[in-house]
Amino acid sequence: MTPLEAPGAGVPYKILGASDVIHINELRQRYPNGRSAVLPALWVLQRKEGILTAEGMREVARALELPPGPVEAVASFYSMFFFKPHGRYVVEMCTSMSCLLMGAGPVLRRFEEQLAVRTGATTEDNLATLLEVECLGACGGAPAAQVNHRFFENLAPEKVEPMIAEMRAGTIEAAAPPAALATGGKEALPTMPTGAKAADRETIVDLANPGANRLEVAIAGSAGSVVDLVKGHGYLLNPSDHPAERGYVEPSKEPQP
């Protein structure tokens, strides 16, 4: 049985296509536990939509035959997943120790000046989002950055302006992926979907307010009352049922003779 045939399969996927669900199912088969496929499955969603929305993650969970909670928990842990729209290029400048010692600070400031944004922001024309990140594992080429997940090493302030000009022209190139590295080749860097379209029609995940994106939880059902640990403190014990309200007294801790 595949997720397309599983119970609930009558409800069509709205975000993932049939080929995406089949791909996620193939990823799932590579691991003894479906939870191990959460990360690659989230990449399928992010490559398609640009960002992870609440509805998108619920569909990923359904395709993996998991509850949505673990999928959201994994997604919120990793900084490479986006929850709100970003630029067509995402510039991630490393400012960890090796890069900092090799001049990451002036490079980051030059990106801020040339893009006219503060770190963490997106340019008004959605060209680029500038982020500060921890070690990218490219310390030997410090100071290093990633643009759309591809490495740019041995950066210097004077290299920033030409990079941005190439982004505007859509001609920026990055080192070819490992399979072609032996040739020292470069290839055009594809732009990323910004997530703006997904944000217009789906629910943006609010990481600062966990639970804000959850579906409404029924207070009672055939299995009895439900406790929503995020929003539902009101569903916990009725005050009059609390032991303290019934005159309950802790047993004495005095040592017994």
**Binding positions for ligand FES, rule: CB under 6 A:** 94, 96-99, 135-139, 142, 144
Distance of CA 184 to the CA centre of its chain: 31
Q: Which is nearer to ligand FES, 117 or 136 (CB)?
A: 136
Contact at 8 Å (CB) between 136 and 94?
yes
Cα distances from 62 to residues 39, 43, 79, 121, 148, in angstroms, run 14, 15, 23, 33, 28
Q: How many beta carbons lie within 10 A of that of residue 97, not counting itself?
A: 13
Q: How far is the CB of 154 from ligand FES (least distance, A)?
A: 11
Residue 236, beta-bridge partner list:
none
CB of 104 to ligand FES, least distance (A): 7
Decide whether 51 or 99 has the Cβ nearer to ligand FES: 99
Question: Could you identify the residue written with the tokens 């299995």?
Answer: 223
Cβ of residue 179: shortest distance to ligand FES, in angstroms? 22
Cβ proximity to ligand FES, 27 vs 142, nearer residue: 142
User: Min. distance of Cβ 193 from ligand FES in angstroms?
Assistant: 26
- Tell me whether residue 23 or residue 150 sits nearer to ligand FES (CB atom): 150
Structure tokens, 159: 């290299």
